[in-house]
Amino acid sequence: MSVAPHLDPVVVELGRVALRDMRDVSTSLVYSSFLTDDGFEVVHEPDGRVDPNRFASMASSIQALSEAVAREVHIGTSEYVIIAAAQGHVIQLRVPGHPIVLGALFDDDETLGKALSVSRRCATALATALAARPADAPAGGDAHDHAATGGWPAPTASVTA
């Protein structure tokens, strides 16, 4: 069995780079994290504002619930989860091809569209970096680890609060 993403130092480091790159291009980004499907934090940036473990657990539950809803109502594969609140928003989306989710908290200094754009780029950047790894160093499992979601990318849905 391959190493879980949150226990793989290469995944953690590549994730950290992707999160820092996102922070550099978004003034409204408050907190961001990569997490496993089953709720373990891989890496987060920055420290302080959010409990990383709790955020990872809650984000994985929200991700799973949104995907369950998408399956239930047969809306196919959507792209992200948005929790929109009065003073900010949380965006979640899958890292394509991996059992990893990006969760990002933004304040309301920038538009939701901008936040969504940088989030998508961040998730894609990590996927690209992981794909560039040597073949003998799989990142966070293979497709057989993800029968529960029926392969990647799993469907996601929008949740607005």
Among residues 12, 30, 145, 159, which is the contact residue for other proteins, using CB under 8 A? 145
**Contact (CB, 8 A) for 3 and 143:** no
Closest CA to 103 of 4, 35, 156, 51: 35
User: Which C-beta is closer to other proteins: that of 88 or that of 152?
Assistant: 152
Q: Judged by CB under 8 A, does residue 152 bind other proteins?
A: no
Site for other proteins in 2-61 (CB under 8 A): 4-7, 36-40, 53-54, 56-58, 60-61
- Laid out side by side, the sheet with 41-45 consists of 41-45, 29-36, 100-106, 88-94, 81-85
Q: Judged by CB under 8 A, does residue 72 bind other proteins?
A: yes
For 35-47, letters b (16+ CB in 10 Å) and e give bbbebebbbbbee
Q: Judged by CB under 8 A, does residue 102 bind other proteins?
A: no
Instruction: Kindly list the residues in this chain that would bind other proteins in the complex (CB under 8 A).
Output: 1, 4-7, 36-40, 53-54, 56-58, 60-65, 67-68, 72, 99, 141, 145-149
